[in-house]
Amino acid sequence: MTSPSTVLITGCSSGFGLETARLFLDRGWRVIATMRQPQADLLPRSDRLRMLPLDVIQPDSIAACLQEAGPLDALVNNAGVGMLAPLEGTSLTLAQELFQTNTLGTLAMTQAVLPQFRERRAGVVVNVTSSVTLKPLPLLSVYTASKAAVNAFTESLALELAPFDVRVRLVLPGRAPTTRFGANAMTRMPGQVPPAYADFTQAVFTSLRDLDAPTTQAIDVAEAVWRAVTDPTAPMRLPAGSDAVALAG
Ligand SMILES: NC(=O)c1ccc[n+]([C@@H]2O[C@H](COP(=O)([O-])OP(=O)(O)OC[C@H]3O[C@@H](n4cnc5c(N)ncnc54)[C@H](OP(=O)(O)O)[C@@H]3O)[C@@H](O)[C@H]2O)c1
For the stretch 59-114, pLDDT in tens is 999 999 999 999 999 999 999 999 999 999 999 999 999 999 999 999 999 999 99
Choosing from 143, 153, 181, 226, which is the catalytic residue?
143
Phi and psi torsions of 50, nearest 5°: -130, 140
The matching CATH number, chosen from 3.30.450.40, 3.40.50.2300, 3.40.50.720, 3.40.109.10, for 6-242 is: 3.40.50.720
CA distances from 75 to 34, 128, 207 (A): 11, 11, 35
* pLDDT value of position 219: 98
* pLDDT value of position 208: 85
**Amino acid in the structure at residue 56:** V
197 catalytic? Reply is: no
Cα–Cα distance measured from residue 102 to residue 56, given in angstroms and rounded to the nearest whole number: 9
**Residue 166 and residue 74 in contact, taking contact as beta carbons nearer than 8 Å:** no
* pLDDT value of position 190: 67
Ligand 1 mutation pick, 16, 109, 137, 170, max ligand atoms within 8 A of CB:
16
Q: Say if ligand 1 is within 6 A of residue 79 CB.
A: yes
Low-confidence ranges of the chain (pLDDT < 70): 1, 190
* pLDDT value of position 114: 98
The whole-model pTM stands at 0.98
Q: Say if ligand 1 is within 6 A of residue 151 CB.
A: no
* pLDDT value of position 191: 73
* pLDDT value of position 115: 98
